[in-house]
Amino acid sequence: MNRFELAGRLTATSGPRHTPSGLPTARVNLRHTSTQIEAERERPVDVETELVAYGDIARALGGVENGSELRLTGFIDRKSARDTRLELHVTDFALLAPARPDLTIKE
Buried b (16+ CB within 10 A) or exposed e, 34-60: eeeeeeeeeeeeeeebebbbbeebbeb
pLDDT tens track for 80-95: 899 999 999 999 999 9
32 contacts: CB under 8 Å, gap ≥ 6: 6, 7, 8, 45, 46, 47, 48, 49
Please write the tens of the pLDDT for every residue from 15-68. Answer: 789 999 999 999 999 999 999 999 999 999 999 999 999 999 999 998 999 999
Is the Cα torsion angle 64, 66, 70, 75 positive or negative in sign? Answer: positive
